[in-house]
Amino acid sequence: MSAERGSPDTLIAVESAVMMAQRFGQDMAIMPDLSVKKLADVESGAVAGAPLEIIRCPRIWKREQSHEKT
């Protein structure tokens, strides 16, 4: 895939990241291969590599992360 600015693949990756941010209520990362991953997974080291772009989830879509175990 091409990561060239404005290419159809790049635009699809951005659109996908925006939709995933809305669905999951989390910030998303577009990786060099144009895959979209949760930014939390990238930052935790669960996903290798540095993102090309970060899509921030607007506050209205944010979901509370519960760290409590039941």
Residue 40 is assigned to a structural domain of this protein: yes
- Give me the domain span that covers residue 57: 8-61
Residue 1 is assigned to a structural domain of this protein: no
SS3 category, 47: coil
Residue 70 pLDDT: 37
Residue 33 near residue 1 (C-beta atoms within 8 A): yes
Residue 12 is assigned to a structural domain of this protein: yes
User: At residue 36, what are phi and psi to the nearest 5 degrees?
Assistant: -115, 125
Distance CA 54, CA 31 (A): 9
pLDDT more than 70, % of the chain: 83
Q: What is the pTM of this model?
A: 0.77
Residue 10 near residue 32 (C-beta atoms within 8 A): no
Residue 70 is assigned to a structural domain of this protein: no
Q: The tokens 């693949």 sit on which residue?
A: 9
Residue 20 is assigned to a structural domain of this protein: yes
**What's the domain count of the chain?**
1
Residue 43 is assigned to a structural domain of this protein: yes
Residue 69 is assigned to a structural domain of this protein: no
Residue 68 is assigned to a structural domain of this protein: no
